[in-house]
Amino acid sequence: MPVSTVQIPVGQWVVSGDGLRWWFDSGSLALDFACTGPIGASLAEELLHAPDDLAGWLRERFPMAIGDARTRDLFDATALRDAITRLALAAAHGGERRSDDVDIVNLYAATPDIPPSLAGGSRQAGRSVQLVGQALSTIARDAVDLLGAANAERIRVCAGDDCDIVFLDTSRAGSRRWCSMQRCGNRAKVRAHRARKRPVTAG
């Protein structure tokens, strides 16, 4: 069950080190947010260099107006993001959670998030522009859902030989293996095809 009632699209375009642009469905808003920073060698680029970078990412993602970000918001965002990253990596690799990372996620999840609203009314209820802190709270609540017991076996590392990207397997059968069929899944198919076509030499 989702922790937040605000519906946020999941997934984003990623450009890898070799210049390939591909769609990555992480399965979770919190994991999408983790991908704005170094989460493994395959996604090792920092995207949030300034408050405007943070505000821009949130505005692309959230369907409602988000206010300007301040330096303090950027500090809060990277602290939350890095805690989510470490917790997701621990879950994917079967490692121990750091209690201070859990505390950070819980702290942001306990603050006011972006409230849901029903379209069609004649009056504005609440803020017309949401605060960055409210967006971070919504992300933290998604992280609580992501890292809960229900997903314990579904936070995975891509099965690609040279890939370490973490994702939430939301497939019905729970059988997703790749960060993306467009990227690592296709590479695995090509390798398997070449292996089948390779002539067998007599020993």
Q: Which two tokens stand for residue 23?
A: 């769609």
What's the pLDDT at 147? 96
CB contact at 8 A, 129 and 66: yes
Is the predicted pLDDT of residue 139 greater than 90, yes or no? yes
Model confidence at 118, pLDDT cuts 50, 70, 90, reads confident
Is the predicted pLDDT of residue 2 greater than 50, yes or no? no
Query: Alpha-carbon distance 167 to 178, whole Å?
Result: 9
Q: Which two tokens stand for residue 54?
A: 């943070």
Range of lowest pLDDT (18-32, 37-51, 184-198): 184-198
Number of CB atoms found within 10 A of residue 38's CB: 15
Beta bridge partners of 130: 66
Cα dihedral 71→54→93→192 (10° resolution)? -150
Query: Alpha-carbon distance 74 to 182, whole Å?
Result: 32
